[in-house]
């Protein structure tokens, strides 16, 4: 009875008070009694309640979540971290999931059941309406940046951030020219297939199957993107999917001369950054941040990344994960050389070392 009342109360409180006012209200009424009455609202933690579970494909489910007042408004393409003590060992496991859809008060995650994945298999087995999860606020820089011509390239469950951006763009009715390439095994394993088939006329959707039942159907391979989209050089590309797929697409784009500064890549784990030791500088390097007109020096002996060297001299560079994953620190290399992760002329100061004595960054 009380449980049912709360089921109805939570969406109403969030909808009518809004998260900011609810945060103020809950923090001012927080005590042992209110916490015992309802630990979802009277909580210091960012949490979300599962309000619906939908089967998308045989091994993929969408969980619609109602986050509490500590959740910040997400941008399409961002992800959240979910923390679950899957084996009640007292050592919870955290995993990132992209928001596949953002509604007014709720967000959705679409999770493929990975038998080796602790959290995804746990969610598939136990996740049901009414369950409360510990989540983070939204994170990530894989977000739409107002470009007018886009190409979303995804594979498998990597479709989720691209789908979230597509839905958001459709709802704003912005005149954006969108092409959408999605590679899966076959139609049965294609997440959001119906929704993608029903997109508006301004969106071109191309499915590509690696194991089609109808082998006569033509599959466009990732290394045929430039053939499929003759205007690819005018499009900003958002790429998400398994590592091997992303590597294949990036290699293809490089081979066609595509400007990799126009490519956004989503990573869910730190990329393997190969630092070319032979190209690492041995002496000192000066780094100029052109737009801020700030210069600092790096002594290669200290073995500091460009980010660490800046910080050690009191210079703040925008950053997040510090592992080359989130893209927050990504900046343009105007001149000079660095050793580390690089996409076109873009470098990641958190994983880059100087490879020339003078470096100019945007
Ligand atoms: S990529 Fe996250 S801080 Fe550099």
pLDDT tens digits, one per residue of 139-155: 888 999 999 999 999 99
Q: Are the C-beta atoms of residues 177 and 149 closer than 8 Å to each other?
A: yes
Ramachandran quadrant class, 253 (left: phi over 0; alpha: psi -120 to 50; beta: rest): alpha
Location of each CATH 2.40.30.10 domain in the chain? 2-135
What is the C-alpha separation between 271 and 2, in angstroms, rounded? 47
Task: Kindly state the tokens that stand for 241.
Answer: 């999917």
pLDDT class of 219 with cuts at 50, 70, 90: low
Each residue's pLDDT tens digit, 49-75: 999 999 999 999 999 999 999 999 999
Each residue's pLDDT tens digit, 242-253: 989 999 999 999
Q: Write down the H helix ranges in 257-351.
A: 306-312
Statement: residue 272 has pLDDT above 90? no
Which helix H or strand E contains 69, and what residues bound it? none
CA of 142 to the centre of ligand 1 (A): 12
Least Cα distance to 137 among 78, 63, 95 occurs for: 78
Pairing of strands 358-361, 331-335: antiparallel
pLDDT class of 325 with cuts at 50, 70, 90: confident
Q: Is 329 in the pocket of ligand 1 (CB under 6 A)?
A: yes
CA of 359 to the centre of ligand 1 (A): 19
Most confident of 4-13, 217-226, 255-264: 255-264
What is the C-alpha separation between 95 and 80, in angstroms, rounded? 8
Q: Is the pTM of this model over 0.85?
A: yes
What is the C-alpha separation between 59 and 113, in angstroms, rounded? 5
Q: What pLDDT score does 211 carry?
A: 84
For ligand 1, what atom is nearest to the CA of residue 350? 4
Three-class DSSP category at 37: helix
Three-class DSSP category at 336: coil
Q: What pLDDT score does 172 carry?
A: 86
Count Cα atoms within 13 angstroms, Cβ side, for 355.
19
Q: Is 41 in the pocket of ligand 1 (CB under 6 A)?
A: no
Percentage of the chain modeled with pLDDT above 90 = 69
CA of 323 to the centre of ligand 1 (A): 6
Domain 2-135 adopts which CATH fold? Elongation Factor Tu (Ef-tu); domain 3 (2.40.30)
* Length of the chain (residues): 362
Three-class DSSP category at 51: strand
pLDDT class of 8 with cuts at 50, 70, 90: confident
Question: Where is average pLDDT lowest: 9-23, 273-287, 307-321?
Answer: 273-287
Least Cα distance to 155 among 249, 60, 271 occurs for: 249
149-265 has which CATH code?
3.40.50.80
Location of each CATH 3.40.50.80 domain in the chain? 149-265
What is the C-alpha separation between 358 and 109, in angstroms, rounded? 45
Q: Is 322 in the pocket of ligand 1 (CB under 6 A)?
A: yes
Location of each CATH 3.10.20.30 domain in the chain? 277-361
Each residue's pLDDT tens digit, 12-26: 889 888 999 999 999
What mean pLDDT comes out for the span 121-137?
95
What is the C-alpha separation between 256 and 233, in angstroms, rounded? 9
Q: What is the DSSP letter of 359?
A: E
What is the C-alpha separation between 183 and 263, in angstroms, rounded? 18
CA of 351 to the centre of ligand 1 (A): 8
Q: What's the mean per-residue pLDDT of the chain?
A: 90
Q: Are the C-beta atoms of residues 87 and 141 closer than 8 Å to each other?
A: no
* Tokens 């042992």, residue located: 32
Q: Are the C-beta atoms of residues 235 and 243 closer than 8 Å to each other?
A: no
Domain 277-361 adopts which CATH fold? Ubiquitin-like (UB roll) (3.10.20)
Q: What pLDDT score does 212 carry?
A: 79
CA of 49 to the centre of ligand 1 (A): 30
Q: What pLDDT score does 217 carry?
A: 58
């Amino acid at each position: 009875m009380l449980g049912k009342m709360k089921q109805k109360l939570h969406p109403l409180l969030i909808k009518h008070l809004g998260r900011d006012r609810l945060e103020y209200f809950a923090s001012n009424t927080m005590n042992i009694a209110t916490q015992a009455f309802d630990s979802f609202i009277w909580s210091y933690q960012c949490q979300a309640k599962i309000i619906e579970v939908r089967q998308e494909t045989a091994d993929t489910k969408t969980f619609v979540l109602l986050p509490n007042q500590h959740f910040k408004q997400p941008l399409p393409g961002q992800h959240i971290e979910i923390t679950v003590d899957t084996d009640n060992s007292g050592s919870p496991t955290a995993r990132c999931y992209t928001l596949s859809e953002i509604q007014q008060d709720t967000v959705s995650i679409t999770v493929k059941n990975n038998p080796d994945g602790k959290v995804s298999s746990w969610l598939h087995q136990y996740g049901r309406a009414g369950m409360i999860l510990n989540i983070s606020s939204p994170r990530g820089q894989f977000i739409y940046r107002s470009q007018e011509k886009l190409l979303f390239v995804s594979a498998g469950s990597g479709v989720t951030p691209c789908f979230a951006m597509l839905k958001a763009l459709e709802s704003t009715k912005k005149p954006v020219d969108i092409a959408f390439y999605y590679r899966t095994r076959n139609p049965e394993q294609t997440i959001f297939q119906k929704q993608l088939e029903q997109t508006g006329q301004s969106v071109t959707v191309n499915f590509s199957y690696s194991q089609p039942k109808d082998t006569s159907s033509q599959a466009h391979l990732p290394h045929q993107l430039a053939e499929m989209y003759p205007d690819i050089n005018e499009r900003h590309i958002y790429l998400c999917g398994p590592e091997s797929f992303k590597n294949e697409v990036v290699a293809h784009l490089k081979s066609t001369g595509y400007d990799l500064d126009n490519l956004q890549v989503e990573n869910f784990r730190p990329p393997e950054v190969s630092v070319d030791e032979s190209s690492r500088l041995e002496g000192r390097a000066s780094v100029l941040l052109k737009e801020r007109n700030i210069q600092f020096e790096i002594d290669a002996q200290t073995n500091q990344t460009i980010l660490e060297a800046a910080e050690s001299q009191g210079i703040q560079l925008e950053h997040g994960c510090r592992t080359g994953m989130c893209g927050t620190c990504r900046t343009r290399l105007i001149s000079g050389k660095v050793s580390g992760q690089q996409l076109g002329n873009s470098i990641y100061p958190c994983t880059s070392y100087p490879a020339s004595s003078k470096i100019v960054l945007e």
